Amino acid sequence: MSEAQQNICLNMPLLPKDEEGPVFSEPWQAQAFAMAVKLCEDGYFTWQEWVEEFSQQIKKAQAAGDPDLGDTYYLHWINCLEEMVAAKKMVSLGDMQLRKEQWRQAYIDTPHGEPVLL
């Protein structure tokens, strides 16, 4: 784990982790984590800004009934990431929705065991 990632983990007390670092149940979770770290490292937002926005995302989810059992942690991560990149005009919500639909359709059209391609 890089020094930047270690520092980030220290500043994210709710981040699922063990002695080795962040724990991911599925590859997409690691990719979402890496995306946020990379955007921060590249200066698109500060880590403090991320922490504040992510905390708000979790509070909104809890207010909407999320029982906060840990299984939705990275779904909140993705929602926060999407909202931040849209708010900073890195990509529009419409473009994100279009791309999600393209991926969904490609997934549906791809035979089992084959790689999903756009």
CA distance 73 to 65: 14
Distances in Å between the alpha carbon of 16 and those of 36, 47, 73, 86, 115? 15, 17, 9, 26, 29
- Provide the residue-wise pLDDT of the chain in tens; the chain has 118 residues: 556 555 554 455 556 667 777 778 888 898 999 999 999 999 999 999 999 999 999 999 999 999 887 788 899 999 999 999 999 999 988 998 999 899 999 999 999 999 999 8
Beta bridge partners of 22: 17
CA 43 distance to own-chain centroid: 17
CA distance 26 to 11: 22
How many residues does this entry show for the chain? 118
Instruction: Domain ranges for the chain, please list them.
Output: 3-87, 92-118
